[in-house]
Each structure stands twice: as structure tokens, then as C-alpha cells.
């Protein structure tokens, strides 16, 4: 289905294309808020910037110890903070009304759907390995609607880096990956893998980050194009469906459990040893070929997605290194189809976006972003087609999903680097 031309002539100004305010302005806004909190000494104020991420290939195989890919985008979670001598954490968010406040010596358990879980989880994770003497006062914000771009990992990393900065702790990216994992798996209760935080902590411009989730090895794979060609020919589109929801309440954990059962059953059929915590990566491909068809139908589909996606990741890395954006994109779209058909993630809204983008000229490839139960659909695009691509979405989406017509939005993004403390100081900020 391609977008009807009659609609693609909608004036660009009517389309919900969102350009974020410059980051200096966002930081000034955070500093303004921070300054108003009791006892804050702005001379000690610092900022962490943790970019959001996409994963073009390797969907839902990180928790099965597969090989995945990702890159960050130029939309970030920003956290302005100061140390607090009394050992309390006080956090405000530009996106949520209720502030978070707790004592580091007595971190309460997670409560479902609470944004404060991420700061509590980060503090708890860091405390498992390092003594924390000081509390943290901060204000956090982000410019993107939540869903699929891993704002939860980005915000957890922002809290970790801030707590590490005020304690002068030298924690490397690999340890931060583990800490973030502890927070999400053990505190928040999502049985996810290490894709999100690894991409956010390791990414570099012009590179695709490759993560082997079994060995936990990370490689930054350069694109086979010069920087100028990549800038001219490659951009990332994120279309927010208008639907946000935390992953803990979705079918995410259920799918992870199905993948584990599939792994266990195939290993048993083959008479191979079964590890304490079986995952699909433990299953040799030939065992899948021999025994996959004997699994129950839903488990068969999950295994099929895993092995297909591993092949697409391998082929995609080759295409990326050769600078073949067209081939890379085809694999991304095939990955999106496998997510719908075999992994059975996706919502009606995301499927409409995927189908529309897959058939729109100028789109190299498209798929749901992240878990794909809500949030954003992403596309890798040729920037020369920006307007016609936005017009195609605008022509189809609000009609197909009128209840989301006022909430969906279109964002053109560039690849970015990793999360870090940025040298922003309150005095360097423009007056407001």
C-alpha cells in the first residue's frame, strides 16, 4: 500500500513534525528548576546527557543472548544535578508532576508504573558495589515522547553517571551495563537484555554498535561511507504512535519465558545438556533445524524469529560495512516483518506505521522501535525525501487511528554518540 497522492500534498506546516528546542535551552530550563529547590548550591551543578537509542537489527534477541545492533540518536535525557550532603535523593522531572524523594540508607521497593523506580533502582544497583556517602538533588527531562527509544535505560544511566560523578567513582561502561541490568531486571522487574544500555553507553558517531549478548563484547562497526556521504544520505525517522505504556505491563516477560521454553525443549530433544538458565543462543542452529518443527506453534514462531534475526544481523553488519544502505534497510524491514509474524509483537498502531513506511519511497528500512508493544516506529531514510515521507504518514495514520490523531508525532533525528557528563555549567547558560 503506498500513500495516496491526494493526501501527500498536505502542507508541511500541518504535519505533526516536532523539532526539539536546542539542548542549551533545555538545560537552562533544568537549571532554572534546580535553582528553586531548597539548599541547592548552583556552583556545584552539572549535567549528564544520555541519548536515546534505536536498534535497527537484533530485535528481541538480546534476552536470548543473541547478537544485536544499535545506535543512539540526537534526542537525549538530560539531568541537571548537585550533591546532597544529607544522603537523600530528591529528584524532579519535567515530565511527571510528583517529585521522587528517598533516603539512600533506606531505598523503598519498586511501585508499578512509577517514574521514581529508575532513580531508586540506579542508586540500589550502585550501592551493591560502591559506598554512597552523598545524596543527589536533580531535575530530569527529555524532549521525546516515551516509548521504544529506551528512555528508561537512558534515564537509569543518567542517574548512575550523576551518582558516580558526585562520588568520584571511575565505573567503566561495562560495569554500568551490569548496574543498569540489575536495576531493570532485579528492581523494576523487566526481564530484558543488555541491548539498550550497551548502545547508550558505547555508541560512537558514524558507527553501528554490535553487541554479543553472550560474551558481552561490544564492537563499534564503522560504516563504509565517508562522513559527508552518510550525512547527506542517511537519517533516522521516529514516528511516535501516540501510545505510551511501561513494558512491565506488556507481554514482554511472557515472550522471554516462551523463548526459554523453546530453548529448553529443543536441547532436551537433542539430548544436549540443559544449562540452569536456557536461552535460544545455547541451541545450535542444526538442533533448531532438526527439532524446531516439534515445538508448540507459538514456541516455533519465537524460535524462528530468533534464528532469522541472527542471520539478518550478520548480513546487516556486512551491508553496513560495505556502505550499502539499501541492503541494510531491506534487512531492517524484514526484521520488522519477523517481529510481526513470528515474534508477534506490535500493536495495530505500530503495524499501520510499519506498513505505510515500508512502502514509501525514500525509506531504506523500517521496523518498530524497541519492544514494539507501544511507542515509536522507526525508519532509516534518505533525507531528500523527508517531506514526502512525513506526508505519507500524515495521509494514512490519523485516518486509520483517529483516537491517536492528536497525539502522534514525527521526528527526524541524526545518529549520535554515547552518554556522558557534559561541560555545562549554570553560569554558561543563557539567562532566561
Is residue 281 near ligand GLA by the rule CB under 6 A?
no
Q: Which residue has the CB atom at the shortest distance from ligand GLA?
A: 192
Q: Is the Cβ of residue 16 or residue 51 nearer to ligand GLA in the bound state?
A: 51
Is residue 382 near ligand GLA by the rule CB under 6 A?
no
Contact residue for ligand GLA among 192, 258, 333, 352 (CB under 6 A)? 192
Is residue 196 near ligand GLA by the rule CB under 6 A?
yes
> Minimum CB separation from ligand GLA for residue 355, in Å?
20
Is residue 151 near ligand GLA by the rule CB under 6 A?
no
Q: Is the Cβ of residue 135 or residue 148 nearer to ligand GLA in the bound state?
A: 148
Is residue 145 near ligand GLA by the rule CB under 6 A?
no
Given 196, 324, 382, 416, the catalytic residue: 196
> Minimum CB separation from ligand GLA for residue 193, in Å?
4
CB atoms within 10 A of CB 337: 14
Place of cell 550533591: 83
Is residue 309 near ligand GLA by the rule CB under 6 A?
no
**Alpha-carbon separation of residue 331 from 42, 310, 324, 422 (angstroms):** 49, 11, 11, 35
Provide CB contacts within 8 A for 380, sequence distance 6+. 56, 234, 235, 236, 237, 325, 328, 329, 332, 363, 364, 365, 366
> Minimum CB separation from ligand GLA for residue 61, in Å?
7
Give the CA dihedral 390, 393, 399, 403, nearest 10 degrees.
-90
Taking alpha carbons only, the member of 133, 190, 203 closest to residue 156 is 190
Gap between the Cα atoms of 227 and 202, Å rounded: 19
Is residue 371 near ligand GLA by the rule CB under 6 A?
yes
Is residue 55 near ligand GLA by the rule CB under 6 A?
yes
Taking alpha carbons only, the member of 225, 190, 222 closest to residue 62 is 190
Is residue 193 near ligand GLA by the rule CB under 6 A?
yes
Asked about 196 being catalytic, the answer comes back as: yes
Gap between the Cα atoms of 147 and 318, Å rounded: 29
Is residue 338 near ligand GLA by the rule CB under 6 A?
no
Beta bridge partners of 78: 49, 141
Q: Is the Cβ of residue 63 or residue 202 nearer to ligand GLA in the bound state?
A: 63
Phi, psi of 419 (to 5 degrees): -70, 140
Q: Give the distance from CA 208 to its chain's centroid.
A: 14
Q: Is the Cβ of residue 26 or residue 203 nearer to ligand GLA in the bound state?
A: 203
Provide CB contacts within 8 A for 104, sequence distance 6+. 87, 88, 89, 123, 127, 132, 135
Is residue 312 near ligand GLA by the rule CB under 6 A?
no
Contact residue for ligand GLA among 122, 195, 236, 299 (CB under 6 A)? 195
Evaluate whether 79 touches 48 at the Cβ level (below 8 Å).
yes
Contact residue for ligand GLA among 49, 60, 281, 304 (CB under 6 A)? 60
Residues near ligand GLA (CB under 6 A)? 55, 59-60, 62-63, 150, 192-193, 195-196, 370-371
Q: Catalytic amino acids?
A: 196
Amino acid at each position: 500500500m503506498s500513500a495516496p497522492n491526494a493526501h501527500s500534498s498536505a502542507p508541511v506546516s500541518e504535519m505533526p513534525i516536532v523539532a526539539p528546542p536546542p539542548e542549551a535551552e533545555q538545560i537552562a530550563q533544568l537549571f532554572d528548576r534546580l535553582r528553586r529547590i531548597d539548599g541547592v548550591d548552583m556552583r556545584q551543578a552539572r549535567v549528564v546527557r544520555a541519548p536515546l537509542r534505536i536498534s535497527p537489527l537484533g530485535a528481541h534477541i538480546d534476552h536470548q543472548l543473541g547478537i544485536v545492533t544499535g545506535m543512539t540518536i540526537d534526542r537525549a535525557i538530560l539531568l541537571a544535578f548537585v550533591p546532597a550532603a544529607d544522603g537523600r535523593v530528591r529528584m524532579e522531572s519535567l515530565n511527571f508532576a510528583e517529585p521522587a524523594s528517598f533516603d539512600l540508607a533506606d531505598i523503598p521497593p519498586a511501585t508499578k508504573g512509577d517514574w521514581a523506580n529508575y532513580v531508586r533502582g540506579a542508586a540500589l544497583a550502585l550501592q551493591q558495589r560502591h559506598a554512597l556517602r552523598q545524596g543527589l538533588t536533580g531535575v530530569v527531562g527529555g524532549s521525546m515522547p516515551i516509548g521504544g527509544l529506551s528512555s528508561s535505560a537512558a534515564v537509569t544511566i543518567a542517574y548512575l553517571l550523576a551518582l558516580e560523578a558526585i562520588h568520584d567513582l571511575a565505573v567503566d561502561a561495562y560495569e554500568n551495563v551490569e548496574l543498569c541490568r540489575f536495576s531493570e531486571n532485579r528492581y523494576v522487574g523487566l526481564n530484558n537484555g543488555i541491548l539498550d544500555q550497551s548502545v547508550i553507553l558505547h555508541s560512537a558517531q558514524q558507527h553501528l554498535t554490535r553487541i554479543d549478548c553472550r560474551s558481552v563484547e561490544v564492537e563499534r562497526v564503522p560504516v563504509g561511507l565517508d562522513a559527508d556521504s552518510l550525512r547527506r544520505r542517511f537519517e533516522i525517522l521516529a514516528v511516535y504512535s501516540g501510545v505510551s505504556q511501561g513494558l512491565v505491563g506488556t507481554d514482554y516477560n511472557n515472550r522471554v519465558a516462551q523463548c526459554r521454553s523453546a530453548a529448553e525443549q529443543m536441547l532436551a530433544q537433542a539430548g544436549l545438556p540443559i544449562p540452569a538458565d536456557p536461552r535460544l543462543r545455547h541451541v545450535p542452529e542444526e538442533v533448531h533445524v532438526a527439532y524446531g518443527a516439534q515445538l508448540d506453534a507459538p514456541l516455533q514462531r519465537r524460535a524462528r524469529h530468533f534464528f532469522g534475526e541472527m542471520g539478518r544481523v550478520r548480513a546487516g553488519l556486512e551491508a553496513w560495512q560495505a556502505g550499502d544502505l539499501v541492503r541494510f534497510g531491506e534487512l531492517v524491514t524484514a526484521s520488522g516483518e519477523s517481529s510481526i509474524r513470528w515474534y508477534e509483537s506490535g500493536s495495530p498502531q505500530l503495524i499501520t506505521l510499519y506498513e505505510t513506511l515500508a512502502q514509501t519511497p525514500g525509506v531504506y528500512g523500517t521496523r518498530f522501535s524497541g519492544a514494539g508493544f507501544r511507542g515509536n516506529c522507526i525508519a532509516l531514510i534518505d533525507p531528500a525525501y523527508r517531506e514526502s515521507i512525513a506526508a505519507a504518514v500524515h495521509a494514512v495514520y490519523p485516518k486509520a487511528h483517529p483516537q491517536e490523531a492528536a497525539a502522534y508525532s514525527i521526528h527526524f533525528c541524526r545518529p549520535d554518540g554515547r552518554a556522558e557528563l557534559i561541560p555545562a555549567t549554570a553560569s554558561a547558560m543563557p539567562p532566561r
